[in-house]
Amino acid sequence: MKKIKLLSFILAVLMCMSVLVGCMPNGNEMTGEKTSETKDLKVALVTAAAGQNDNGYNQAAVKGLEEAKKEFGVTTKIVDKPDDIPGAIEALAADGYNLIFTLEYDFDALIKGVGGKTPIATAYPNTTFVVFNDNPNVDEMGKTMHQNVVSVLFDVHESSFLAGALSVLINENGEKLFSPETHSLTTGDKGRKIGFLGGTSSNGITVFSYGFAEGINYMAKELSKNYTLYTDYNAGFVDSAAGATKAATYYSDGANIVCTVAGSVGDGVDSKAKELKKLSIQVDADKDASQSGYILTSILKNTDVPVKEIIKHYKNGTMDKVKGKAISYSLSSGATGITNLSEIEKSITTDGKETFENIKEKLKEIEKKISDGTIKVTNSQAGEKIDTSKLTNLKMANAQ
């Protein structure tokens, strides 16, 4: 009997200890280590055609992914400019990647399915897919199609408006701002032409061109001038030599400024601007210093911001805040805007300093009007179409 009582006592003690251990914080909570859910999180990024070393759109996203890997301890993989975007996305999903970012303008296989195949998002419901620069995840009635798709949008239409207004302000004051030794700008009506090169005809490109056009028109109207905007949406994303050739055509026709939204094609435009002593506008990252004095500004699309933020949502278990939604990043988010013009300012003459300061103040005024809704800018990513009849002081050639 004594042995039985002793055994019962020992069992009771062990059961109590088991309960106590179960109630204690686990080792990860005590040490502050990442949870097993975060450690097991596999995140992949599929780049667009310009590739991960484009010094812009793709490279910024890769930077965000690498920072998230260090900060959150996730497993990551980069698939650089694959020939088959849908195939790469599906292979990653099949390999167990929980979160897949895709930077290319290729959504049909993911959202709708092609060739009679099931949409990738439907086939892999436990994988979250993140697309950029459009919201393809809605049907004709505007209803969300897949809850495991996140659409990332940047309010670059507003940033582009600022760049357009800046272009006119610089163009109209070029003789005072720049020395003829460093810049050879066409004056008068012949110089009131601006070029725009887009990599492809898509909402992710026209969101720039529409805002840019409206910014040009806004400032031209205020100054009682008339401008022409030449547009080309077939530049691709990799042929910098072709960019240089096209830019040369615009510059020789009198344009002083060419804006490019076409990956590495913009590098050729920048080089031609320097060669001919003209100006260019870049996009995605701050590239002003790459051709200092000849890149007027860069329209920023900091893709690292949403990449890190969405991975953080996954880590914190708050993905419900973004899944199935279109997330927009405004001027105030830090993910978009234009550069501070510090590089171009190095080329401003002493006599032009005051004029340049006045231009910067004017931009602040315009930015405030955009933020408070006084100025409404067309957003093609939201399905809006530009009303060219309202461009009273701008002829927009080849509008899409």
CATH number of domain containing 62:
3.40.50.2300
The residues facing 231 across adjacent strands are 196
Question: What total of structural domains would you count in the chain?
Answer: 2
Identify residue 266 by its one-letter amino acid code: G
Q: Which residues of the chain have pLDDT under 50?
A: 1-7, 9-11, 13-38
Q: Is residue 23 part of a domain?
A: no
Would strands 257-261 and 279-284 be described as parallel, antiparallel, or unpaired?
A: parallel
185 shares its domain with 127: no
Torsion 355-356-360-366 (CA) sign: positive
> Which one of 103, 132, 154 terminates a domain?
154
Give the pLDDT confidence score for residue 39 in this predicted structure: 52
Give the pLDDT confidence score for residue 284 in this predicted structure: 86
Q: Is residue 92 part of a domain?
A: yes
220 shares its domain with 195: yes
Domain range for residue 62?
36-154
Q: 163, 212 in Cβ contact below 8 A?
A: yes
146 shares its domain with 232: no
Write b or e for each residue in 299-310: b if 16 or more Cβ atoms lie within 10 A of its Cβ, otherwise e: bbbbbbbbbbbb
Give the pLDDT confidence score for residue 1 in this predicted structure: 47
250 shares its domain with 288: yes
- The tally of CA atoms less than 13 A away on the side-chain side of residue 377 is 34
136 shares its domain with 171: no
64 shares its domain with 119: yes
283 shares its domain with 347: yes
73 shares its domain with 203: no
With tokens 């031609």, the residue in question is 272
Compute the distance between CA of residue 369 and CA of residue 81 in angstroms, rounded to an integer.
39
* Count of CB atoms situated within 10 Å of the CB of 353: 13
Give the pLDDT confidence score for residue 6 in this predicted structure: 47
Give the pLDDT confidence score for residue 399 in this predicted structure: 61
Q: Is residue 317 part of a domain?
A: no
145 shares its domain with 162: no
> Which one of 122, 139, 154 terminates a domain?
154
130 shares its domain with 172: no
Q: What is the mean pLDDT of the chain?
A: 89
146 shares its domain with 170: no
Quick one: how many helices (H) and strands (E) in the chain?
Answer: 15, 13
123 shares its domain with 236: no
Compute the distance between CA of residue 212 and CA of residue 215 in angstroms, rounded to an integer.
5
The residues facing 132 across adjacent strands are 152
> Which one of 136, 154, 172 terminates a domain?
154
Q: Is residue 145 part of a domain?
A: yes
Among 160, 161, 142, which Cα is nearest to 151's?
Answer: 142
DSSP secondary structure of 288-355: GGGGTTTEEEEEEE-THHHHHHHHHHHHHT-GGGTTT-EEEE-GGGTSEEE---HHHHTT--GGGHHH
